[in-house]
Amino acid sequence: MSHLKQFVPRRILALPTVETDGWQLKRYAILADQHSFEPQIVSSALTAAIDRLPIAGDINDPSGNHGVGFQLIHFAEVAVVSPVFYWIWGSVLANTHQMRAQWEHSNQFETGVKEVVGCVWEMQILCYEIQAWKDTMLGGVGTPPENLTNYLGYILPSAELVHS
């Protein structure tokens, strides 16, 4: 079956953390073999994410979101897919509806399949970010702002760093 192809890892890029509209977002790009990194698509994905995220909360607020999350921009075979996740209530990971841009209009992100959390390449990063949150924010010994600085500095070890 063509949809059950053998898993092959994809190139992952760690993009600079963005601070905008009160949000601090770690970002990663995932590249399928036939696609290359395109900064204008990443910029459009960020704009679409900020439009969909709730008003940013504060890291010290136990009853709302913490204004902290991460975005994946997956340059996949059939479309650009960009799930966005954010932390609420200390230990809960929330997400916006999946964002998707068809390759013919790769800067126009629409809502994708609402039930989808992500594919196996995206889940690798999701698992890493959950562990990073547990290690730093829920297991750190500093103040919440100090632990947040540590969390934002944790980057998936296999990711290539992209500066700007």
Q: What is the dihedral of CA 79, 43, 40, 35, to 10 degrees?
A: -40
Question: For residue 41, what are its two tokens?
Answer: 């698509």
Indicate yes or no: pTM above 0.85.
yes
Contact (Cβ atoms closer than 8 angstroms) between residue 48 and residue 82: yes
pLDDT at 158 over 50: yes
Q: Where are the domains of the chain?
A: 11-157
pLDDT of residue 164: 63
pLDDT tens profile 121-135:
999 999 999 999 999
